[in-house]
Amino acid sequence: ALPADWSAEKDFKPIGSITAFTQRTIEPVGPHFLAHARRARHKRTFSEDDRI
């Protein structure tokens, strides 16, 4: 439910950002990793990759 007094620009209100994260190593194995490596090396985003 939306409180009556709620309002924000374009109906979106950013409040925080991600608080906790760690650097870890993913295993360079499997089809999904190879897709990830391809994106990382060509600096593509998900949607750009989808279009190709």
10 binds another protein (CB under 8 A): yes
- Find the binder of another protein among 5, 15, 51, 52 (CB under 8 A): 15
Q: Identify which of residues 20 and 52 has a Cβ nearer to another protein in the complex.
A: 20
| Alpha-carbon gap, residue 28 to 36, rounded angstroms | 9
Chain position carrying tokens 């109906």: 11
- Find the binder of another protein among 14, 42, 48, 51 (CB under 8 A): 14
Contacts of 27 (CB under 8 A, 6+ apart): 33
24 binds another protein (CB under 8 A): yes
